Amino acid sequence: MIRRSRSRPFAILLTLFAVGIAPALAHADETRPAPAAPNARWEKLGERPVDGKVDHDAIVVGRDDGKFEAIQIRVEGSSLVMLDIKVTFGNGETFEPKTRLVFDKDSRSRVIDLPGNTRNIKRVDFKYANLPGGGKAQIELWGKS
């Protein structure tokens, strides 16, 4: 007589559930705002439409917007390749994180820590390219204070 384990169907269901939900959870996390430290605050510093004809743009921030310790780039509406990012601070110093980012539609970058303590951001320059078959996208710049 062959005895079947009662735990085997449960293990199979548990495995199927884990395999099915893990990719969904990973994808959902890409579009959620980054978790903030208890005293930190994310705020939108500006946005620019990207139509595929212009390959560079800038978002001017300004002194009155505050001081920031990190930035994040979000892209909505279409896929996009971000070739370069250049942050110009209030004192004229610049920071160019070495990165080439490929954004899916409605996704965000990692958190990009700014050098030094919190800093005033004067402007952020972007060089980008649409992916083949891409449509109109919108770049958003977020700052963490």
Q: How many CA atoms lie within 13 A of 51 on its CB side?
A: 2
Distance CA 27, CA 104 (A): 11
**Is the residue at 72 inside a domain?**
yes
Three-state secondary structure call for residue 80: strand
Residue 25, domain member (yes or no)? no
Judge whether 32 lies within some domain: no
Counted domains in the chain: 1
Spell 113-123 as b/e; 16+ CB within 10 A means b.
ebeeeebebbb
Tens-binned pLDDT, residue by residue, of the chain (145 aa): 555 445 444 344 333 333 343 333 333 334 444 444 445 689 999 999 987 666 889 999 977 778 999 999 999 998 888 889 999 999 999 999 987 778 888 999 999 999 988 889 999 999 988 766 667 889 999 999 8
Full DSSP string of 122-144: EEEEEEEEEPTT---EEEEEEEE
pTM confidence score? 0.69
Any domain includes 35: no
Yes or no: say if 113 and 67 are a contact pair by the CB < 8 Å rule: no
**Residue 18 maps to a domain:** no
Range of the domain at 116: 41-144
Residue 88 contacts residue 124 (beta carbons within 8 Å): yes
CATH of the domain at 131: 2.60.120
Does residue 69 lie within any of the structural domains? yes
